[in-house]
Amino acid sequence: MKKIFLMMLLLMALASMLLAEDIQLQEITLDEFLTEFLPDYKIKKQIQLEGEVINYDVAKETGDIVIITEKTENKYTVYFFDKNGNELWKKDFFEWIDCEISDLGDIIIIEDKNNNKIYDKHGQLYSSKKMIRTSLLPSPNGTYFYKKTGMMDGKQKEMIIYDRELNKHKLDSPELENIRSMRYRFVADNRILAVIDGWIKIFSFNNYEIELLNKIELNRDRSWGEFYGGFHYRKTDYSEEYFGIVVYEDGLYVFDVNGNLVYRDETKYVEIKFTNNENLIVSSYGVQKKIRLINLKTNKKTNLDFSFEWSNKGFHFIGFLDNCSKINEIVFCNVITGIPQEPQYCLILNTNKVSPNLNCIPNTNIRVLDQNLYIFHLEDNPKIILLGDK
């Protein structure tokens, strides 16, 4: 459930209003979901949580879970579970906090309004630094950190990396001189993807030295404001072998780990999510929301055109894809609605059968790791449910 800034939600919600279509979103229960879509799976463990789930994150490689609940006003608890649902530690905080976890699950960032704290997987504080209103993201291996930018962060003009002690390092390169606007992120331990003044640029990274691997010029006749607030979570994503970016006017670009362009699609997409190492989902907005599942190994495309709605006072909103997973032929897309404080839900797509009524589980997120499922029931009676083969 990656964080989406409130202002971005408000702006995108207003921009995404649409009238109801013939295809509706049909709510189903967890029992119905298991019976209809995953008859070979069973519930292995349920973890009851107290309070309201504020945020969570799952390590891509290990399946370790960090989750924040608010038990009472201004009392927050951070839990850390391994992939089997065993609670390894928990800590209480008495002000608003946020969390991130590295792909290997060995580094957890806890952020409040004034500080960033780095913990190891055993709950030991590794480092802490006063960084007012500065959110950090870890590199996949949790060795380095970089700033998570939002709509209010202005234009980045320097590439700054932090080490585990949260010391600041400015990266230098001829490609980073006289910059007007930039967004960047780690897409592998030794790869950085950036959009710099109308160019996609891919760098190798080693011990604070960078080298340009590839660059592609984009359409300069458009606004680059679309990256503000969405660059890390909706416009870019990565898997073990690939990383990609969507630029609305220019479409989709997918690269291999060496920075070579391996897939190009000029469709005006607004989101990209890898469901596993070889499949990605891209989506576009409009009266008819389009989701396209692309297999990068076979170049097979599965198009799913539909409208789904969230109603509020007579208006209908579409949402943002927060995370997508795939198991067999079933795709799970966690959706954040465009209305602040409205529930989230998991959209369920059977790629072998596109029915007139799309299914969803309300107040629920689903993640998949190594054919095991993690179900996060987020609101009333919050819990984590672990599923596996019967």
Distance in angstroms (rounded) separating the CA atoms of residues 231 and 10: 17
Per-residue pLDDT of the chain (390 residues; tens, 9 = 90+): 444 433 343 334 333 333 334 456 788 988 898 888 888 898 999 999 988 898 999 999 999 999 999 988 889 999 999 999 999 999 999 999 999 999 999 999 999 989 999 999 999 999 999 998 788 999 999 999 999 876 656 678 899 999 999 999 999 999 999 988 889 999 999 999 999 988 999 999 999 999 999 999 987 655 555 676 688 988 999 999 999 999 888 899 999 999 999 999 998 888 999 998 889 999 886 555 678 899 999 988 888 766 555 454 444 455 788 899 988 888 898 988 755 555 688 888 887 765 556 788 888 999 998 878 899 988 778 999 999 888
Distance in angstroms (rounded) separating the CA atoms of residues 309 and 360: 11
Contacts of 249 (CB under 8 A, 6+ apart): 218, 219, 221, 222, 268
Question: pTM for this one?
Answer: 0.88
**What is residue 3's predicted lDDT score, i.e. its pLDDT?**
43
**What is residue 355's predicted lDDT score, i.e. its pLDDT?**
55
Distance in angstroms (rounded) separating the CA atoms of residues 137 and 184: 11
Q: How far apart are the first and last CA of the chain?
A: 28
For the residues of 122-144, what is the DSSP string, one character each? Answer: TS-EEEEEE-TT--EEE-TTSS-
Q: Which two tokens stand for residue 315?
A: 């208006």
**What is residue 228's predicted lDDT score, i.e. its pLDDT?**
63
**What is residue 78's predicted lDDT score, i.e. its pLDDT?**
96
- 3-class SS of residue 29: coil
Residue with tokens 């987020």: 378
- Write down the H helix ranges in 150-280: none
**What is residue 161's predicted lDDT score, i.e. its pLDDT?**
96
CATH code reported for the domain at 6-389: 2.130.10.10
**What is residue 16's predicted lDDT score, i.e. its pLDDT?**
38
Residue with tokens 């370790």: 64
Distance in angstroms (rounded) separating the CA atoms of residues 158 and 175: 11
Whether 34 and 47 have beta carbons less than 8 Å apart is answered as no
